[in-house]
Structure 1
């Protein structure tokens, strides 16, 4: 529902193609910043006048900031407006880029890289804005492309950064990032309309602090364990803090009124399993970006290295990002025809087969280009389907937070990929020209681990439930009176129906009644309590939820409102003809007779 200080947008809405282009470009810039400095890693100690261990924090800081900011930005987007939060994150990206571009000191660079990391929240925010803005026909391809930008940015970021470093000073990387971020910020502000879908509520500061502590401890243990030693006091302490903080955070979130992460919603199978699948998919996506550059740049004298320069190696891997971009419409078509579960499973099979074949196709640069391109196709299919699965299972007022959590799971997967690759590749090395390079066996083992992750995700995907699109939930009822033309382009009316004990009222039905007393539509309630109904052109309606053995509940919906701010609660009633409560600023009651005359049936509707 639109806030009073932010009126509904009544002007000409941007074309769906323009919305997808702007939001996907912003997601691409945000994800590109995550890998922007990878080509500089060997030079960072000298450039920043510090040690190798300390310089590695330039990448770690971005990872930690992105992991912490993503769920927080998602919740804020649901509460106060997704475009508003998206613009703020892009502003932080620009500020961080400029800060890195004007300094040679370690601390300012760490601060700037942390600010850049916050912008990874643009991806889940953009996906949620697409759901609120795009027509159903364009939604699938838009989400697939936006979701794939997490991989596309990484795939294109390496060769782009290599080219910039080759022809200019390293500070140019950040000037380019800042310029792209500023362009994205202006385009979002000028083109993208603010969503009127808001969850309201208060921000859960305690939950944000608890989750931040837990995530920082977890990701530090995973990303720095190889450097600190997996049995070291620092690694074990970080892991211990993470476990204690996350357990305490979980208990707290179950008790707070407006939680940062709705655990009751996220532990449901339709949400939990796609989030769990995101971790091994993240591992599989990032493993190739970690392993193949080392093989391509390893000296030819090692017996398996190709001895390519940084620039040529980056261009060899560029097909990964290009194929991901080209596969986005294919993902949408597969999902539209067979559902997102099918595109997820096809993608996982492709990833697994590509990595298994990659263990034997390592002798030529074109072979590696082919393998990484096929992996990109599989990742695009998998990444594009995960948000679609999750958004079918969550109410519209929680889409940004739900997608933020999914993005976080992918980040945990990519961090795990780096840690696993470092352990395996470091365990078996050969000395060539005075330096150690990973052995061929270590490289093949790492690729097989990625294939195993794809297989594990495929097995878990078999248990993902098949939920219909929200628009398929509507069961239109022939109106009593002259037929009216369908209401093209208007948003569905969404909300949730709960029992008085807090659980979803699965099996309930929602009836929409017009001002003239005609029954407009009846729609069933999903297993998680969510519903999406089309009130037609007569937007002001009486909405009545009912279930056999419970007291029906009704609320009047204001013109222009497309989301109920509070769930409808069904109380158990001994008398099925009990009164219907109308919640609102002034609590009144609607008699059963009045409800019946309006076109609904109180006895279970």
Structure 2
């Protein structure tokens, strides 16, 4: 029998999985989901013509994915702990395929927005994959596997941009989404055949009130952040949404503390190790986005500005692509450092590398190779930080809350990225230079955003310093009978 056939039989019978095969499949699923998030970037400027709609409306093709992902990630993570992580992983990939098909068949705005929102509902794939690894892998394999799974987010994003630009340049734009659907179908089949269902489940009743409250609060918050520049930061709609987010999230927090089976266990989340890891994650998410925003724009800015490099979208994507490969290459290095010194040290090391990368970028931004070097340095730092955060979270939460806790950590990074997008957008809109009557972001504007990115990385370093010292790595969980509470892992804080 072939390796694939044997692994498929193992998955069906509940036998222990072959670690390498399972990790490869889960990492592939993570890459496919992150590809989906960058797939639309090359065609954003053309969407008004493709969909016969104004640019202010077609921007919802990006915003809808952001909002859906923010809502789905903690909810699906909790459902994974309760009803089965593999089951929710499969449901997430099915939603990715369905959303991709809807977009591929779209000729107008509304179906495109619906399809992009459905795609966004698949965002919990990475935290679910990490949680399956905790349940199924031997303890000595867990650090490397989770680092690789975390790196898949960056790998997919970095490789997706040039691939999407290449497809958009040579084929009808619908092919982008058919490609996403095909990749999702491959990932779905491999998960069905090769990934076992974890026996670690909490059972219980889903917190519908908590889910609705968190969804409402996040939508208000992220909508205000993402659309504030368009609506005006001091406009009634923006301020009203921020106020609504504060009120709703405070009420949600009170409910979560009082209900017996909360969507998010805030008492666990308040543990020192979890709390400061999540706060560091916000800063890391902020720092990561600065590279994704500044480097492609510098590469595509006209050479007449004196600092732009005048390259195409495809060339910009190819410059960014090595950073994804560096993230993957440094995953085992990150895991080795976590095993020897602890994941706290890995997180702090990664934050310093990211800050150094931004500092390097401020003085090296006039040649293509400068930006390749900078993106690789920052990519290495992100690989360290992304690999360490799941280890810190899983070392401090009960096994039955792994998916929910990892999902919340992923959400924190997304919030940091959204805030970075808003702040960078304001800076680049205010600090401009004139080229033929057209205002463009100035060199000083780009350097300001890079400096803020470095500051965010240093803030992540400082916050990580408050995480408790090294604890023994959390062992792979002993499967608990379905429908019973899982045993708690060692806690911290």
Following superposition, the deviation at residue 13 of structure 1 comes to 3.2
Map 1:264-279 onto structure 2 (within 5 A).
Answer: 264-279=267-282
Q: TM-score, normalised by structure 1?
A: 0.77
318-327 vs 246-255, which moves further:
318-327
Counterparts of 1:166 and 1:224 in 2: how far apart (Å)?
29
- Contact 1:397–1:563 (CA<8 Å) still a contact in 2? no
- Contact 1:68–1:212 (CA<8 Å) still a contact in 2? yes
The answer to whether 1:209 aligns with 2:217 is: no
Counterparts of 1:139 and 1:167 in 2: how far apart (Å)?
41
- Contact 2:342–2:470 (CA<8 Å) still a contact in 1? no
Map 1:290-439 onto structure 2 (within 5 A).
Answer: 290-439=293-442
Map 1:124-139 onto structure 2 (within 5 A).
Answer: 124-139=127-142
The answer to whether 1:100 aligns with 2:103 is: yes
- Contact 2:11–2:193 (CA<8 Å) still a contact in 1? no
Following superposition, the deviation at residue 331 of structure 1 comes to 0.7
Where relative contact order (Cα < 8 A, 6+ residues apart) is larger, the structure is 2
391-400 vs 314-323, which moves further:
314-323
- Contact 2:200–2:400 (CA<8 Å) still a contact in 1? yes
SS of structure 1 residue aligned to 2:122: helix
The answer to whether 1:153 aligns with 2:156 is: yes
Q: Which has the higher strand share?
A: 1
Change (3 A) 1:493 1:171: closer
The answer to whether 1:228 aligns with 2:148 is: no
- Of 71, 74, 93 in structure 1, the residue corresponding to residue 74 of structure 2 is 71
The answer to whether 1:188 aligns with 2:108 is: no
Counterparts of 1:211 and 1:157 in 2: how far apart (Å)?
30
Other-structure match for 1:53: 56
Change (3 A) 1:96 1:211: same
- Of 535, 550, 565 in structure 1, the residue corresponding to residue 485 of structure 2 is 565
- Of 265, 276, 284 in structure 1, the residue corresponding to residue 287 of structure 2 is 284
Q: TM-score, normalised by structure 2?
A: 0.94
SS of structure 2 residue aligned to 1:258: coil
Counterparts of 1:317 and 1:470 in 2: how far apart (Å)?
33
- Of 219, 223, 240 in structure 1, the residue corresponding to residue 222 of structure 2 is 219
Aligned residue pairs: how many?
479
Map 1:583-594 onto structure 2 (within 5 A).
Answer: none
258-267 vs 145-154, which moves further:
145-154
- Contact 1:287–1:417 (CA<8 Å) still a contact in 2? yes
Runs of 4+ in 1 over 2 A off after TM superposition: 7-14, 433-436, 466-472, 491-494, 560-564
Change (3 A) 1:8 1:283: closer
Counterparts of 2:376 and 2:196 in 1: how far apart (Å)?
35
Counterparts of 2:11 and 2:29 in 1: how far apart (Å)?
24
SS of structure 2 residue aligned to 1:58: helix
Deviation string, structure 1 residues 528-568 (Cα, Å, up to 9, x no partner): xxxxxxxxxxxxxxxxxxxxxxxxxxxxxxxx749962779
Other-structure match for 1:463: 466
SS of structure 2 residue aligned to 1:431: strand
Map 1:428-577 onto structure 2 (within 5 A).
Answer: 428-469=431-472, 492-493=477-478, 561=481, 565=485
Deviation string, structure 1 residues 387-410 (Cα, Å, up to 9, x no partner): 000000001000000000000001
Counterparts of 1:562 and 1:339 in 2: how far apart (Å)?
32
Other-structure match for 2:247: 244
Change (3 A) 1:8 1:561: farther
Following superposition, the deviation at residue 322 of structure 1 comes to 1.3
Following superposition, the deviation at residue 10 of structure 1 comes to 4.4
143-152 vs 117-126, which moves further:
143-152
SS of structure 2 residue aligned to 1:359: helix
Other-structure match for 1:507: none
Following superposition, the deviation at residue 8 of structure 1 comes to 10
Uncovered stretches (5+) of structure 1, i.e. residues with no partner: 1-6, 473-490, 495-559, 569-605
- Contact 1:61–1:113 (CA<8 Å) still a contact in 2? yes
Change (3 A) 1:239 1:471: closer
Q: Which has the higher helix share?
A: 2
Following superposition, the deviation at residue 200 of structure 1 comes to 1.1
SS of structure 1 residue aligned to 2:260: coil
SS of structure 1 residue aligned to 2:202: coil
Higher alpha-carbon Rg: 1
- Contact 2:398–2:486 (CA<8 Å) still a contact in 1? no
Other-structure match for 2:262: 259
SS of structure 2 residue aligned to 1:398: helix
Following superposition, the deviation at residue 314 of structure 1 comes to 1.1
Change (3 A) 1:218 1:350: same
Following superposition, the deviation at residue 217 of structure 1 comes to 0.6
Counterparts of 2:134 and 2:330 in 1: how far apart (Å)?
20
Change (3 A) 1:70 1:11: closer
- Contact 1:344–1:386 (CA<8 Å) still a contact in 2? yes
Counterparts of 2:19 and 2:140 in 1: how far apart (Å)?
10
Following superposition, the deviation at residue 173 of structure 1 comes to 0.6
The answer to whether 1:33 aligns with 2:36 is: yes
SS of structure 2 residue aligned to 1:41: helix
Following superposition, the deviation at residue 32 of structure 1 comes to 1.4
Uncovered stretches (5+) of structure 2, i.e. residues with no partner: 1-9, 489-493
Counterparts of 1:300 and 1:165 in 2: how far apart (Å)?
24
- Of 7, 11, 27 in structure 2, the residue corresponding to residue 24 of structure 1 is 27
Deviation string, structure 1 residues 89-116 (Cα, Å, up to 9, x no partner): 1001100000100111111110100111
Counterparts of 2:395 and 2:14 in 1: how far apart (Å)?
29
SS of structure 1 residue aligned to 2:434: strand
